[in-house]
Amino acid sequence: MNPLEDLLQSRPGEARQLLPLLQLIQAHYRYLPEEALRAVAEKLELPLSRVFAVATFYSALSLRPKGETVVKVCCGTACHLRGSETLIASLEKELGIKLGETTPDGSHTLESVNCLGACALAPVVMVGDETHGNVPAASARHLLGKVK
Amino acid sequence: MRFTNTRELEKYRHELVNRPDVYRRLWVCGGPGCLAAGGLNVLKALREEAKWYGLSGNISFKVDLSGCQGLCDRGPLVAAEPWGYLYQKVRPEDAHDIIEETMINGRVVERLSPGQNHRKGYDLNFFRRQTRHLMGRMAHMNPESLDDYIKHYGYHALGYALARLTPADVSGRVEASSLRGRGGGGFPAGRKWKACRQAPGEIKYVLANGDEGDPGAFMNRSLMEGDPHSIIEGMILGAYAIGASQGFIYVRHEYPLSVARLNNALDLARERGLLGRDILGSGFDFDIEVVEGGGAFVCGESTALMNSIEGRAGAPRVKYVRSTERGLWDSPTLLQNVETWANVPHIILQGPGWFKGIGSENNYGTKIFSLVGDVRNSGLVEMPLGSTIRSFVMDVGGGPQPGRKVKAVQSGGPSGGCLPRSCLDLPVDFDHLAEAGAMMGSGGLIVMDDLTCMVDVARYFTKFLVGESCGKCAPCREALPRMLKVLEDLCGGRAEKGDTDRLIRWSEMLSKTALCGLGQSAANPVLSTIKYFEDEYREHEEQHFCRAGRCAGLYEPFIDTERCVGCGACIRVCPCGAVKRSGLKPQGINQNTCIACGACLKACHFRAAVARPRG
């Protein structure tokens, strides 16, 4: 069986499973392929338009492939006050992409996130699953070096 | 083993409490801040080290993970019992000293507890000034252990209610306590409970809102990760009171650990017969499911949250009928913030009278706040409602950083407002904050010092809200981007005459016409900063000057040689060597090489480096 079938089988066919299913697919493929959206619509007996509406509404879901490592810069209030904007600028320069984009080789995606809930350590950056606190703007290279 | 009645649960608790306890214990903080600072590595190192000393099999010794201990910016924290030492900023390399000095010899490791007079955590002002009813036990409890929760009188309220109280009694106690919703609005919880209990319908739902979207706030997160059972117990009591059989906890997408800890807690409770079919042999069935959000701020709004659980895009609905009558799948629904739920077991157990003894008139009980920004101690703080802002900022928070002055305190997240220094004696409760133009929100308190530009703060929040507006109603969708444009012009030196007045006009229009609560309050950051800091707006508009030295290009740094003590801090931090000097004493700034980064302003503890208009 292909992985998409497995994912679809893992949840009951109720309309409320739409978001959880899309999250599973996103986690597996790092994006939502068109055929997956069609398959989900068919399984849950929902119009494709509604699946598309949900897929484009939530920021955790994406129609374009994300990089292997997602770098999330926290832009919460505390992080903003301590210079998250400068940090984003230096990460953009280091990766050669703009916020929200993925590097051409598909290795990194740079994103901002509203608050990671670790405000005492502002500014905070998440590289993959690892959280880094008190990141000085100048350490962008160092931070990425750890994962590259 | 399943508990088949309340007596079995109480017998088990009795055994746990009387079991010879671990004598020496290290609690490594498992709160979000400490984990991000490397708490798990410290835990691992301590366990390894204990193994070296042959302590790992010793029943009187234990290294354990606890819930959030509160002093987040000093993490990773390690508390040593029974001495009460609180070690701060612990690194894995410190494991050897902690095990040898403290665990074996019973002495304090001084370099890890800086500046504490008595070297005891609870002697710190930060903890001494708080009233920690909800957070107190978190620091002495493994969040992944049901036994720890039971030992701290967990599920005692549930057992009592199922054995002795009718659903009407439970609801009555909550009504009598005058508990107000902790999620932001402060709506009386008891009224919701009553309405929901009386609403006709076979199927009813209870929901917990854990979609903590406010930037700068993380108290719900630490509650879900530090004491998940208290939320679950509260929800079971709520379900019993209104007659629901299914509950959902909606958790924000950015909190995967909360989802994991809640699911773990639900499984443990189910195994023991505290959740699921026939709870504690009472014949009452109720189960809870965790729903993970998709990363949308607006889903914290009650109707949007319900849409999201139903598998739709999380846009708010128009509220003609209250959700206590027609909510989730058009059934009566009792939705409350996770912190409101966590208060319920305490109220049932200790009674409404106890609860009303804490806090101020009409604002009873304690509330967890996240105190962050420009204060010396930042972290999670639990205080009775009605404590003054000063007691938060000065007593618990330890005041601003050296050489700085508190300029404003922002409360209530993006829908809240900024209060100036003159409001320091204002009591923090639902009514006083709303009156002053801010709001309680979920409890974020962000302290800003004199290097913060209030126009920039308004720009920041408005930018946030533009990104999070769901786009359903025109006022919110159209007005916010226009307001952001004006604010960006103000901060970028492109302001035109009348910009401030335009902002006021649009803000008022937005507040009056938006569809949901989020839209109606979206102008609050702009309105409250204009109300209290209009001078700064006028300076940006008319003189293109930013007195805080934050908006690049709107100021030039200047050194007041009268005030300067010649410490040389500005010379060291300047990235372009623009500070002219003779010896260590700065003489002025070479404006041609200066890039106006503001580093010297931040570094100066004596307010000698200041911003002045250009030219």
Instruction: Name the band, by pLDDT with cuts 50, 70 and 90, for residue B383.
Output: very high
How far apart (Å, rounded) are the C-alpha atoms in residues B586 and B604?
12
Please report which residue ranges of B29-166 form alpha helices under DSSP H. 32-36, 39-52, 95-97, 125-128, 146-151, 156-164
Q: What are phi and psi of A69, to 5 degrees?
A: -110, 125
Query: B118 pLDDT exceeds 60?
Result: no
Query: A146 pLDDT exceeds 60?
Result: no
Residues A85 and A50 in one domain: no
pLDDT in tens, B271-301: 999 999 999 999 999 999 999 988 888 888 8
Instruction: Report which of B89, B130, B600 is spatially closest to residue A133, judged by C-alpha positions.
Output: B89
* Residue A100 placed within a domain: yes
**B259 close contact with A: CB closer than 8 A:** no
Is residue B538 within 8 A of residue B500, CB to CB? The reply is yes
**Structure-token pair, residue A142:** 């160092």
**Structure-token pair, residue B222:** 């630490």
Q: Is B70 left (phi over 0), alpha (psi -120 to 50) or beta?
A: left
**Structure-token pair, residue B285:** 């069935």
Choose the closest CB to A15 out of B217, B311, B460. B311
Helix, strand or coil, per DSSP, at residue A142: helix
Longest distance between any two alpha carbons in chain B, whole Å: 84
The CB density around residue B435, as the number of other CB atoms within 10 Å, is: 9
CB crowding B344-377: b at 16 or more within 10 Å, else e: bbbbbeeebeebbebbeeebbbbbbbbbbbbbeb
Q: Report CB contact under 8 Å: A117, B314.
A: no
How far apart (Å, rounded) are the C-alpha atoms in residues A83 and B77?
25
**B218 close contact with A: CB closer than 8 A:** yes
Residues A51 and A80 in one domain: no
How far apart (Å, rounded) are the C-alpha atoms in residues B330 and B419?
40
As for the ipTM of the complex, it is 0.88
**Structure-token pair, residue B507:** 């803000």
Is residue A90 within 8 A of residue A109, CB to CB? The reply is no
Supply the CATH classification number for the domain B556-612: 3.30.70.20
Is residue B291 within 8 A of residue B251, CB to CB? The reply is yes
Query: B205 pLDDT exceeds 90?
Result: yes
* Residue A62 placed within a domain: no
DSSP state of A117: S
Interface test with A, best of B91, B218, B259 (most A CBs within 10 A): B218
Is residue B442 within 8 A of residue B471, CB to CB? The reply is no
Helix, strand or coil, per DSSP, at residue B298: helix
Helix, strand or coil, per DSSP, at residue B63: strand
Please report which residue ranges of B105-218 form alpha helices under DSSP H. 125-128, 146-151, 156-164, 167-177, 189-198
Query: B262 pLDDT exceeds 90?
Result: yes
Q: What is the pTM of this model?
A: 0.89
Give the nearest chain B residue to A13 (CA atoms).
B311
Instruction: Report which of B345, B378, B380, B406 is spatially closest to residue B130, judged by C-alpha positions.
Output: B380
Residues A25 and A90 in one domain: no
B322 Cβ contact partners less than 8 Å away, ≥ 6 residues apart: B195
Query: A141 pLDDT exceeds 80?
Result: no
Tell the residue number behind the tokens 């700085």, with chain if given.
B404
How far apart (Å, rounded) are the C-alpha atoms in residues B445 and B338?
19
Give the nearest chain B residue to A15 (CA atoms).
B311
Q: Determine the pLDDT at residue A148.
A: 46
Instruction: Report which of B395, B421, B397 is spatially closest to residue B408, judged by C-alpha positions.
Output: B421
Give the range of the structural domain holding residue A28, as residue numbers without chain letter. Answer: 3-57
pLDDT in tens, B461-509: 999 899 888 888 899 999 999 999 999 999 998 988 999 999 999 999 9
Q: Report CB contact under 8 Å: A117, B452.
A: no
CATH 3.40.50.12780 fits B454-543, yes or no: no
How far apart (Å, rounded) are the C-alpha atoms in residues A47 and A40?
10
Query: B215 pLDDT exceeds 50?
Result: yes
Instruction: Name the band, by pLDDT with cuts 50, 70 and 90, for residue B119.
Output: low
**B255 close contact with A: CB closer than 8 A:** yes
Q: Determine the pLDDT at residue B129.
A: 84
- Of residues B387 and B615, more confidence is placed in B387
Is residue B366 within 8 A of residue B384, CB to CB? The reply is yes
Residues A33 and A82 in one domain: no
Give the nearest chain A residue to B464 (CA atoms).
A114
**Lowest mean per-residue pLDDT among A38-52, B69-83, B244-258:** B69-83
Q: Report CB contact under 8 Å: B314, A20.
A: no
Choose the closest CB to A60 out of B295, B373, B374. B295
- Which run of H or of E encompasses A21? helix A18-29
How far apart (Å, rounded) are the C-alpha atoms in residues B567 and B582?
12
Instruction: Report which of A124, A113, A126, A115 is spatially closest to residue A76, judged by C-alpha positions.
Output: A115
Q: A44 contacts in B (CB within 8 Å)? A: 311
Is residue A135 within 8 A of residue A122, CB to CB? The reply is no
Q: B314 contacts in A (CB within 8 Å)? A: 57-58
Average pLDDT (B406-421) is 89
- ω into residue B82 within 30 of 0, thus cis? yes
**Lowest mean per-residue pLDDT among A2-6, B19-23, B513-517, B539-543:** B19-23
**Structure-token pair, residue B389:** 């802002």
Q: What is the mean pLDDT of chain B?
A: 88
Supply the CATH classification number for the domain B363-449: 3.10.20.600
Instruction: Report which of B138, B25, B137, B139 is spatially closest to residue B81, judged by C-alpha positions.
Output: B25
**B575 close contact with A: CB closer than 8 A:** no
Residues A52 and A75 in one domain: no
Q: Determine the pLDDT at residue A137.
A: 67
Percent of chain B with pLDDT over 70: 98
The CB density around residue B251, as the number of other CB atoms within 10 Å, is: 28
Q: B35 contacts in A (CB within 8 Å)? A: 131
**Residue B402 burial by CB count (10 A; 0-12/13-18/19+): exposed, middle or buried?**
exposed
Choose the closest CB to B313 out of A53, A76, A78. A53
Pairing state between β B585-589 and B579-582: antiparallel
Residues A53 and A115 in one domain: no
End-to-end CA distance of chain B: 78
* Residue A64 placed within a domain: no
Tell the residue number behind the tokens 């374009």, with chain if given.
A64
Query: B203 pLDDT exceeds 50?
Result: yes
Residues A21 and A52 in one domain: yes
Instruction: Name the band, by pLDDT with cuts 50, 70 and 90, for residue B115.
Output: low
Strands (E), B194-278: 205-210, 246-251
**Structure-token pair, residue A104:** 């051409």
Instruction: Name the band, by pLDDT with cuts 50, 70 and 90, for residue A1.
Output: low
CA angle B558, B564, B567 (to 5 degrees): 110
Instruction: Name the band, by pLDDT with cuts 50, 70 and 90, for residue A138.
Output: low
Architecture of domain B6-128: 3-Layer(aba) Sandwich (3.40)
- Which run of H or of E encompasses B267? helix B256-271
Strands (E), chain A: 69-74, 108-113, 125-127, 130-132
Residues 77-96 of A with CB under 8 A from B: 77-81
Query: B443 pLDDT exceeds 90?
Result: no
Is residue B418 within 8 A of residue B530, CB to CB? The reply is no
Is residue B412 within 8 A of residue B434, CB to CB? The reply is no
Average pLDDT (B429-437) is 88
**B378 close contact with A: CB closer than 8 A:** yes
For residue A104, the distance in angstroms to the closest alpha carbon of chain B comes to: 25
Q: Determine the pLDDT at residue B316.
A: 83
Longest distance between any two alpha carbons in chain A, whole Å: 51
What are the Cα distances from residue B252, in Å, to A25, B37, B130, B213?
18, 21, 28, 7
Helix, strand or coil, per DSSP, at residue B89: coil
Query: B237 pLDDT exceeds 90?
Result: yes
pLDDT in tens, B314-328: 888 877 778 888 888
Is residue B603 within 8 A of residue B612, CB to CB? The reply is no
* Residue A87 placed within a domain: yes
Q: Determine the pLDDT at residue B333.
A: 93
Q: Determine the pLDDT at residue B605.
A: 87
Average pLDDT (A105-133) is 85
Q: What is the mean pLDDT of chain A?
A: 85
Average pLDDT (B44-66) is 84
Domain locations in chain B as residue ranges:
6-128, 146-356, 363-449, 454-543, 556-612
How far apart (Å, rounded) are the C-alpha atoms in residues B199 and B343?
24
CATH number at residue A127: 3.40.30.10
**Structure-token pair, residue B540:** 């940006």
Q: A50 contacts in B (CB within 8 Å)? A: 312
**B469 close contact with A: CB closer than 8 A:** no
For residue A132, the distance in angstroms to the closest alpha carbon of chain B comes to: 6
Q: Determine the pLDDT at residue A121.
A: 83
Average pLDDT (B352-376) is 91
Average pLDDT (A67-81) is 86
- The DSSP code sequence of B30-51 is -SHHHHHTTHHHHHHHHHHHHH
For residue B258, the distance in angstroms to the closest alpha carbon of chain A comes to: 11
B269 Cβ contact partners less than 8 Å away, ≥ 6 residues apart: B146, B229, B232, B275
Beta bridge partners of B609: B559
- What is the number of structural domains in chain A? 2
Supply the CATH classification number for the domain B146-356: 3.40.50.11540
* Residue A114 placed within a domain: yes
**Lowest mean per-residue pLDDT among A30-44, B91-105, B395-409, B591-605:** B591-605
Average pLDDT (B152-166) is 92
